[in-house]
């Protein structure tokens, strides 16, 4: 089973588990200080962030890359706009599908947690090479500190690892990888006692 099979129930499972917290985290990026013009959206799944982003940033154009055909089909139904280009591709195999393009924002909500640190170390420079110098990188994800948060995350990783092609078994230290690549973060918000966080990263 892959994200294709999970796509029809993904939003329902999310709401049963987290209520509105994940969507609030995604939408925290829409209060960006600088409104972007050309946005790369990595693995937006069923398009719930994209739907809000096209409204909030009416002059922006978007490229959304996701490997799941079913997720992309749902996103296309949700976001009926000529300002979004949908690409089906596996980011592990390179972002060659967007060769020659330059973005002033990249969005990865609940996406970096799909990968191991080794993969993120390859992905971050690949993405960074396609960004303008003042670009913003919006990231929402989980942050497990308390015992119950670590326990819940452990269960979630078992679920996703068994049902999808997710290769990771634990939350990667993506913040360390971004920091080493020259990005610094500003917290946009946190939800569920800090279990869900949203940040914007910029190059120093
Ligand atoms: C955990 S879901 C997150 C979806 C959405 N961003 C959200 O906020 O809920 C991960 C998404 O990334 C996509 N994905 C996972 N691995 C990928 C890869 N290697 N390349 C491209 N997309 C991938 C999946 O198809 C899925 O839509």
Q: Kindly state if the Cβ of 6 falls inside 6 Å of ligand 1.
A: no
Residue 204 has pLDDT above 80, yes or no: no
49-67 pLDDT per residue, tens: 999 999 999 999 999 999 9
**Model pLDDT for residues 118-176, shown as the tens digit of each residue:** 999 999 999 999 999 999 999 999 999 899 999 999 999 998 888 887 888 899 999 99
Which whole number is the average pLDDT over 26-39? 94
Q: How far is the CA of 66 from the centre of ligand 1 (A)?
A: 6
Report d(CA 157, CA 144) in Å as an integer: 13
Residue 67: which domain range? 3-203
pLDDT tens, residue by residue, 100-132: 899 999 999 999 999 999 999 999 999 999 999
| Centroid of ligand 1 to alpha carbon of 20 (angstroms) | 19
pLDDT tens, residue by residue, 66-109: 999 999 999 999 997 899 999 999 998 878 888 889 999 999 99
- What are all long-range contacts of 66-72, with beta carbons under 8 Å and residues at least 24 apart? 66/3, 66/42, 67/3, 67/43, 67/91, 68/2, 68/3, 68/4, 68/7, 69/4, 70/3, 70/4, 70/5, 70/7, 70/8, 71/3, 71/4, 71/7, 71/10, 71/44, 71/45, 71/46, 71/47
Q: Is the CB of 44 under 6 A from ligand 1?
A: yes
Distance 95 CA to ligand 1 centre (A): 14
Ligand 1: distance of its center to the CA of 27 in Å?
Answer: 17
Atom 26 of ligand 1, residue of closest alpha carbon: 45
Q: Which string of DSSP letters, residue by residue, matches 113-131?
A: GGS-HHHHHHHHHHHHTTE
Number of domain units in the chain:
1
- At 81 the pLDDT is 83
- Residues of the chain with pLDDT > 90, as a percent, come to 84
**Ligand 1 atom 6 nearest Cα:** 44
Whose alpha carbon is nearest atom 14 of ligand 1?
43
The CATH code of the domain that includes 116 is: 3.40.50.150
Q: Give the mean pLDDT of 165-189.
A: 93
């Amino acid at each position: 089973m892959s994200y294709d099979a999970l796509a029809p129930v993904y939003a329902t499972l999310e709401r049963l588990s987290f209520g509105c917290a994940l969507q609030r985290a995604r939408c925290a990026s829409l209060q960006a200080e600088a409104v972007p013009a050309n946005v790369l959206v990595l693995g937006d799944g069923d398009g719930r962030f994209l739907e809000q982003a096209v409204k909030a940033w009416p002059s922006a154009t978007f490229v959304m890359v996701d490997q799941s055909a079913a997720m992309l089909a749902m996103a296309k139904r949700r976001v009926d706009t000529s300002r979004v280009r949908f690409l089906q591709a596996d980011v592990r195999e390179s972002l060659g599908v967007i060769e020659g393009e330059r973005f002033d924002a990249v969005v990865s909500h609940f996406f970096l947690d799909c990968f191991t640190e080794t993969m993120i170390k390859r992905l971050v420079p690949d993405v960074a090479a396609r960004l303008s110098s003042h670009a913003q990188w919006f990231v929402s994800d989980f942050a497990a500190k308390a015992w119950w948060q670590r326990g819940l995350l452990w269960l979630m990783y078992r679920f996703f690892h068994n049902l999808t092609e997710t290769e990771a078994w634990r939350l990667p230290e993506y913040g360390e990888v971004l920091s080493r690549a020259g990005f610094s973060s500003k917290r946009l918000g946190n939800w569920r006692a800090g279990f869900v966080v949203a940040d914007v990263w910029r190059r120093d």
